[in-house]
Amino acid sequence: MNKTLISLLALGTMIATPALAQTAESIFIPSQSETEYLARDLLIGAKVHNDEGKIIGDVEDVVLNDWNRVEGVVMGTGGFLGMAEKKVGVKLSALKFKEVDGKTVVSLPGEEGQWSGATGYVHDQLERVLPERMAEYEFYFAGPPPMSQAIQELLMIGHQVPFGQIHFDRFF
């Protein structure tokens, strides 16, 4: 019985030794190198531009493969004030990264006409995506004065939304 117990203890020690042999160097990353970046610093929230420099969406999440490597990103495109926005998966290899004035700019080069998101003025897009009976809702928005004025006119004149239901902030 004692020989069996000693044998089991010796076997347990041999099995546990490799786990105990791990060092901090094999577990932790000592520092971030110049070729490494955090997704939240470079990708998440980044505005994505087309060939002409126009913002066509923003990166909302990353897509990992079965080896936990970044395969692509989820972009939010089109829409207004969170309404009618489409989520689009884009391969990381399709995105281009470049430094402009010390900032990283993300672009999605493509052929002309490839973009399928909303284009034009915000108030025109708003007219397309909002419900018909707009006077039943409160409206909140922010933007430059010409956009704010156009949205106010659309709501108050075009759809008889009372001024008290329209809340906005202009920025220059």
Final residue belonging to a domain, choices 58, 81, 107: 107
Final residue belonging to a domain, choices 107, 132, 148: 107
Q: Is the pLDDT of residue 162 over 90?
A: yes
Number of helical H runs and strand E runs in the chain: 6, 8
- Mean pLDDT lowest for which of 18-32, 60-74, 85-99, 135-149? 18-32
Residue 141's domain comprises 122-170
Calculate mean pLDDT across residues 100-109: 84
Q: What is d(CA 151, CA 141) in angstroms, rounded to the nearest whole number?
A: 9
Question: What total number of domains does the chain contain?
Answer: 2
Same structural domain for residues 143 and 85? no
Calculate mean pLDDT across residues 112-122: 68
Q: Is residue 112 in a domain?
A: no
Q: Is residue 92 in a domain?
A: yes
Q: Per residue in 128-144, pLDDT tens?
A: 787 778 888 899 998 88
